[in-house]
Amino acid sequence: MGYKLRPKDPAAEVRKVARQRIDKAIEALSVPPEERAEGVHQARKRFKELRALLRLVRKPLGDEFKHENRRLRDLGRALAESRDATAMLESWDVLMQCFAERFDEPDFKETRQRLQARALQAEGHAADLDDRIAQAISELHAAKTCIDSWPLDATGFELLAAGVERTYADGCSELAKVKLEPSDEQLHQWRKRVKDHRYQTRLLTPSWPTLMGLRADALKRLADQLGDDHDLAMMQELMRTQPQLFGDQPLLERLGPAIAERRSELQRTALRLGDELYREAPKDLAARWQRYWDAAED
Protein backbone atom coordinates (compact mmCIF):
# COMPACT_ATOMS: atom_id res chain seq x y z
CA MET A 1 0.00 0.00 0.00
CA GLY A 2 1.87 3.04 -1.27
CA TYR A 3 1.76 6.68 -0.33
CA LYS A 4 0.49 7.74 -3.76
CA LEU A 5 -2.55 9.37 -5.36
CA ARG A 6 -3.38 7.95 -8.77
CA PRO A 7 -5.02 10.26 -11.33
CA LYS A 8 -8.50 8.76 -11.42
CA ASP A 9 -10.83 9.66 -8.53
CA PRO A 10 -8.74 12.00 -6.34
CA ALA A 11 -11.26 12.23 -3.49
CA ALA A 12 -11.41 8.44 -3.20
CA GLU A 13 -7.62 8.27 -3.45
CA VAL A 14 -7.19 10.83 -0.66
CA ARG A 15 -9.50 8.86 1.63
CA LYS A 16 -7.73 5.59 0.79
CA VAL A 17 -4.26 6.98 1.52
CA ALA A 18 -5.47 8.55 4.77
CA ARG A 19 -6.81 5.19 5.96
CA GLN A 20 -3.59 3.44 4.94
CA ARG A 21 -1.39 5.90 6.83
CA ILE A 22 -3.55 5.63 9.96
CA ASP A 23 -3.40 1.84 9.78
CA LYS A 24 0.38 2.00 9.40
CA ALA A 25 0.67 4.32 12.40
CA ILE A 26 -1.46 2.02 14.56
CA GLU A 27 0.63 -0.95 13.43
CA ALA A 28 3.85 0.88 14.35
CA LEU A 29 2.54 1.76 17.81
CA SER A 30 1.42 -1.81 18.47
CA VAL A 31 4.87 -3.42 18.36
CA PRO A 32 6.37 -5.22 21.41
CA PRO A 33 8.10 -3.08 24.08
CA GLU A 34 11.60 -3.95 22.82
CA GLU A 35 10.71 -2.45 19.42
CA ARG A 36 8.81 0.52 20.80
CA ALA A 37 11.42 3.21 20.13
CA GLU A 38 11.49 2.42 16.41
CA GLY A 39 7.72 1.99 16.41
CA VAL A 40 7.20 5.48 17.81
CA HIS A 41 9.65 6.85 15.23
CA GLN A 42 7.73 5.21 12.38
CA ALA A 43 4.36 6.33 13.74
CA ARG A 44 5.52 9.95 13.91
CA LYS A 45 6.60 9.70 10.26
CA ARG A 46 3.09 8.53 9.39
CA PHE A 47 1.64 11.52 11.25
CA LYS A 48 3.77 13.85 9.13
CA GLU A 49 2.65 12.12 5.94
CA LEU A 50 -0.96 12.48 7.04
CA ARG A 51 -0.53 16.18 7.80
CA ALA A 52 1.00 16.76 4.36
CA LEU A 53 -1.98 14.94 2.83
CA LEU A 54 -4.33 17.17 4.81
CA ARG A 55 -2.50 20.27 3.56
CA LEU A 56 -2.99 19.04 0.02
CA VAL A 57 -6.79 19.24 0.48
CA ARG A 58 -6.78 22.05 3.03
CA LYS A 59 -9.09 24.33 1.05
CA PRO A 60 -11.93 21.84 0.47
CA LEU A 61 -11.62 20.50 4.04
CA GLY A 62 -12.26 23.94 5.53
CA ASP A 63 -12.62 23.83 9.33
CA GLU A 64 -12.14 20.07 9.27
CA PHE A 65 -8.51 20.67 8.35
CA LYS A 66 -7.80 22.56 11.57
CA HIS A 67 -9.35 19.87 13.72
CA GLU A 68 -7.57 16.92 12.11
CA ASN A 69 -4.24 18.71 11.71
CA ARG A 70 -4.27 19.71 15.38
CA ARG A 71 -5.12 16.16 16.41
CA LEU A 72 -2.12 14.73 14.52
CA ARG A 73 0.20 17.51 15.69
CA ASP A 74 -0.67 16.85 19.33
CA LEU A 75 -0.22 13.09 18.91
CA GLY A 76 3.26 13.63 17.50
CA ARG A 77 4.22 15.94 20.34
CA ALA A 78 2.92 13.52 22.97
CA LEU A 79 5.23 10.81 21.63
CA ALA A 80 8.27 13.00 20.93
CA GLU A 81 9.89 12.61 24.36
CA SER A 82 10.74 8.95 23.88
CA ARG A 83 12.47 9.71 20.56
CA ASP A 84 14.59 12.78 21.37
CA ALA A 85 17.42 11.03 23.23
CA THR A 86 17.77 8.40 20.50
CA ALA A 87 17.90 11.13 17.85
CA MET A 88 20.71 12.82 19.79
CA LEU A 89 22.76 9.62 19.76
CA GLU A 90 22.16 9.20 16.02
CA SER A 91 23.26 12.80 15.45
CA TRP A 92 26.47 12.12 17.38
CA ASP A 93 27.20 9.10 15.18
CA VAL A 94 26.71 11.15 12.01
CA LEU A 95 29.05 13.81 13.36
CA MET A 96 31.54 11.08 14.25
CA GLN A 97 31.68 10.03 10.59
CA CYS A 98 32.65 13.58 9.60
CA PHE A 99 35.44 13.87 12.20
CA ALA A 100 36.49 10.24 12.54
CA GLU A 101 40.01 10.82 13.87
CA ARG A 102 38.91 13.26 16.57
CA PHE A 103 35.94 11.20 17.68
CA ASP A 104 38.11 8.08 17.95
CA GLU A 105 39.80 9.55 21.01
CA PRO A 106 38.95 8.05 24.45
CA ASP A 107 37.19 11.17 25.78
CA PHE A 108 34.86 11.31 22.79
CA LYS A 109 34.13 7.58 23.09
CA GLU A 110 33.16 8.11 26.71
CA THR A 111 30.77 10.88 25.65
CA ARG A 112 29.09 8.53 23.23
CA GLN A 113 28.68 5.95 25.98
CA ARG A 114 26.89 8.54 28.11
CA LEU A 115 24.63 9.52 25.22
CA GLN A 116 23.87 5.86 24.54
CA ALA A 117 23.00 5.23 28.19
CA ARG A 118 20.74 8.28 28.11
CA ALA A 119 18.97 6.98 25.00
CA LEU A 120 18.45 3.52 26.50
CA GLN A 121 17.07 5.02 29.68
CA ALA A 122 14.68 7.24 27.73
CA GLU A 123 13.45 4.28 25.68
CA GLY A 124 12.76 2.18 28.72
CA HIS A 125 11.49 4.74 31.19
CA ALA A 126 9.64 7.45 29.28
CA ALA A 127 6.99 8.67 31.67
CA ASP A 128 3.55 7.24 30.97
CA LEU A 129 4.59 6.13 27.47
CA ASP A 130 2.30 3.10 27.53
CA ASP A 131 -0.64 5.34 28.37
CA ARG A 132 0.31 7.85 25.70
CA ILE A 133 0.61 5.13 23.07
CA ALA A 134 -2.79 3.72 24.05
CA GLN A 135 -4.29 7.22 23.82
CA ALA A 136 -2.67 7.77 20.43
CA ILE A 137 -4.09 4.51 19.06
CA SER A 138 -7.54 5.48 20.35
CA GLU A 139 -7.30 8.90 18.69
CA LEU A 140 -6.17 7.33 15.43
CA HIS A 141 -9.20 5.02 15.39
CA ALA A 142 -11.41 8.06 15.99
CA ALA A 143 -9.71 9.97 13.18
CA LYS A 144 -10.26 7.06 10.80
CA THR A 145 -14.03 7.14 11.40
CA CYS A 146 -14.10 10.79 10.25
CA ILE A 147 -12.52 10.22 6.85
CA ASP A 148 -15.72 9.31 5.00
CA SER A 149 -17.30 12.62 6.05
CA TRP A 150 -14.45 14.82 4.79
CA PRO A 151 -15.95 17.40 2.35
CA LEU A 152 -13.91 16.52 -0.73
CA ASP A 153 -16.35 17.71 -3.38
CA ALA A 154 -14.07 19.13 -6.08
CA THR A 155 -13.14 16.94 -9.05
CA GLY A 156 -9.87 16.22 -10.82
CA PHE A 157 -6.77 18.20 -10.01
CA GLU A 158 -8.99 21.04 -8.81
CA LEU A 159 -9.26 19.20 -5.50
CA LEU A 160 -5.48 19.40 -5.03
CA ALA A 161 -4.36 22.54 -6.88
CA ALA A 162 -4.71 25.05 -4.05
CA GLY A 163 -2.88 22.75 -1.64
CA VAL A 164 -0.01 22.19 -4.04
CA GLU A 165 0.40 25.92 -4.64
CA ARG A 166 0.09 26.95 -1.00
CA THR A 167 2.51 24.34 0.35
CA TYR A 168 5.13 25.20 -2.24
CA ALA A 169 4.59 28.94 -1.70
CA ASP A 170 5.06 28.46 2.04
CA GLY A 171 8.39 26.78 1.31
CA CYS A 172 9.44 29.70 -0.91
CA SER A 173 8.51 32.13 1.85
CA GLU A 174 10.39 30.26 4.56
CA LEU A 175 13.48 30.00 2.34
CA ALA A 176 13.41 33.78 1.82
CA LYS A 177 13.22 34.27 5.60
CA VAL A 178 16.18 31.91 6.13
CA LYS A 179 18.27 34.04 3.78
CA LEU A 180 17.43 37.11 5.83
CA GLU A 181 17.86 35.46 9.24
CA PRO A 182 19.31 31.91 9.31
CA SER A 183 18.31 31.27 12.93
CA ASP A 184 17.78 27.77 14.31
CA GLU A 185 14.04 28.33 14.53
CA GLN A 186 13.76 29.73 11.00
CA LEU A 187 15.74 26.84 9.53
CA HIS A 188 13.46 24.44 11.39
CA GLN A 189 10.35 26.14 9.99
CA TRP A 190 11.73 25.86 6.44
CA ARG A 191 12.51 22.20 7.01
CA LYS A 192 8.88 21.49 7.97
CA ARG A 193 7.60 23.10 4.78
CA VAL A 194 10.21 21.25 2.70
CA LYS A 195 8.99 17.97 4.16
CA ASP A 196 5.37 18.85 3.37
CA HIS A 197 6.30 19.59 -0.25
CA ARG A 198 8.33 16.40 -0.45
CA TYR A 199 5.45 14.28 0.83
CA GLN A 200 3.04 15.93 -1.59
CA THR A 201 5.47 15.33 -4.44
CA ARG A 202 5.56 11.65 -3.47
CA LEU A 203 1.78 11.56 -3.39
CA LEU A 204 1.57 12.89 -6.94
CA THR A 205 4.41 10.80 -8.38
CA PRO A 206 2.03 8.60 -10.46
CA SER A 207 1.18 11.62 -12.63
CA TRP A 208 4.76 11.65 -14.02
CA PRO A 209 6.82 8.98 -12.22
CA THR A 210 10.32 9.77 -13.45
CA LEU A 211 10.32 13.54 -13.08
CA MET A 212 8.31 13.65 -9.86
CA GLY A 213 10.39 10.85 -8.41
CA LEU A 214 13.59 12.79 -9.05
CA ARG A 215 12.11 15.86 -7.40
CA ALA A 216 10.99 13.85 -4.38
CA ASP A 217 14.51 12.41 -4.04
CA ALA A 218 16.06 15.90 -4.17
CA LEU A 219 13.58 17.19 -1.59
CA LYS A 220 14.49 14.27 0.69
CA ARG A 221 18.16 15.22 0.44
CA LEU A 222 17.27 18.79 1.33
CA ALA A 223 15.07 17.72 4.25
CA ASP A 224 17.81 15.40 5.51
CA GLN A 225 20.40 18.19 5.41
CA LEU A 226 18.09 20.50 7.33
CA GLY A 227 17.24 17.68 9.71
CA ASP A 228 20.90 16.98 10.44
CA ASP A 229 21.44 20.69 11.04
CA HIS A 230 18.46 20.83 13.42
CA ASP A 231 19.75 17.83 15.37
CA LEU A 232 23.11 19.56 15.78
CA ALA A 233 21.35 22.71 16.96
CA MET A 234 19.64 20.57 19.61
CA MET A 235 23.04 19.15 20.54
CA GLN A 236 24.42 22.65 21.01
CA GLU A 237 21.48 23.46 23.28
CA LEU A 238 22.07 20.27 25.30
CA MET A 239 25.73 21.23 25.64
CA ARG A 240 24.63 24.53 27.18
CA THR A 241 22.12 23.01 29.58
CA GLN A 242 23.86 19.72 30.44
CA PRO A 243 27.59 20.18 29.70
CA GLN A 244 28.50 17.34 32.06
CA LEU A 245 26.84 14.91 29.66
CA PHE A 246 29.53 15.64 27.10
CA GLY A 247 32.65 15.95 29.22
CA ASP A 248 35.09 18.47 30.62
CA GLN A 249 35.71 21.99 29.34
CA PRO A 250 38.62 21.06 27.01
CA LEU A 251 36.41 18.51 25.25
CA LEU A 252 33.57 21.02 24.92
CA GLU A 253 36.00 23.52 23.42
CA ARG A 254 36.99 20.98 20.77
CA LEU A 255 33.46 19.72 20.13
CA GLY A 256 31.93 23.16 19.66
CA PRO A 257 33.94 24.14 16.56
CA ALA A 258 33.34 20.71 14.98
CA ILE A 259 29.59 21.16 15.30
CA ALA A 260 29.77 24.73 13.99
CA GLU A 261 31.85 23.62 10.99
CA ARG A 262 29.44 20.81 10.14
CA ARG A 263 26.38 23.05 10.52
CA SER A 264 27.90 25.67 8.24
CA GLU A 265 28.54 23.03 5.58
CA LEU A 266 25.00 21.63 5.88
CA GLN A 267 23.41 25.05 5.63
CA ARG A 268 25.44 26.06 2.58
CA THR A 269 24.51 22.84 0.79
CA ALA A 270 20.85 23.17 1.79
CA LEU A 271 20.62 26.74 0.52
CA ARG A 272 22.15 25.80 -2.83
CA LEU A 273 19.72 22.92 -3.27
CA GLY A 274 16.84 25.04 -2.00
CA ASP A 275 17.53 27.67 -4.64
CA GLU A 276 17.27 24.99 -7.32
CA LEU A 277 14.06 23.45 -5.98
CA TYR A 278 12.27 26.70 -5.15
CA ARG A 279 13.16 28.82 -8.17
CA GLU A 280 9.74 28.45 -9.87
CA ALA A 281 6.78 30.72 -9.12
CA PRO A 282 4.09 28.91 -7.09
CA LYS A 283 1.37 29.40 -9.71
CA ASP A 284 3.67 28.09 -12.42
CA LEU A 285 4.55 24.96 -10.46
CA ALA A 286 0.89 24.22 -9.71
CA ALA A 287 -0.02 24.73 -13.38
CA ARG A 288 2.80 22.44 -14.51
CA TRP A 289 1.74 19.72 -12.10
CA GLN A 290 -1.84 20.03 -13.35
CA ARG A 291 -0.61 19.38 -16.89
CA TYR A 292 1.12 16.22 -15.67
CA TRP A 293 -2.07 15.11 -13.93
CA ASP A 294 -4.29 15.86 -16.92
CA ALA A 295 -1.97 14.01 -19.28
CA ALA A 296 -1.91 10.99 -16.96
CA GLU A 297 -5.72 10.93 -16.87
CA ASP A 298 -5.98 10.74 -20.68
d(CA 20, CA 143): 12
What is the rounded CA–CA span in Å between residue 285 and residue 295?
16
What the chain holds in terms of domains, given with CATH numbers, is 10-297 (1.40.20.10)
Single out the residue of 24, 15, 68, 69 nearest to residue 43, CA to CA: 24
In this prediction, residue 84 carries a pLDDT of 81
User: What pLDDT score does 82 carry?
Assistant: 65
- Walk along the chain (298 residues) in steps of 10 and give the mean pLDDT of each run: 87 97 98 88 96 98 96 92 83 94 94 92 71 95 97 94 98 98 97 98 96 98 97 96 95 96 98 98 98 89
* Whole-number CA gyration radius for the chain: 21
Distance, CA of 202 to CA of 74 (rounded, Å): 24
Helices (H), the chain: 10-29, 36-56, 58-61, 63-98, 100-103, 106-125, 129-146, 158-180, 184-203, 209-241, 249-277, 282-297
CA terminus-to-terminus distance, the chain? 24
CA 156 – CA 208 distance, rounded (Å): 16
Q: Of 55, 65, 70, 111, whose CA–CA distance to 88 is shortest?
A: 111
**127 Rama sector, left if φ>0, alpha if ψ -120 to 50, beta otherwise:** beta
Give the pLDDT confidence score for residue 127 in this predicted structure: 57
In 3D space, the residue among 78, 76, 67 whose CA is nearest the CA of residue 21 turns out to be: 76
pLDDT at 125: 61
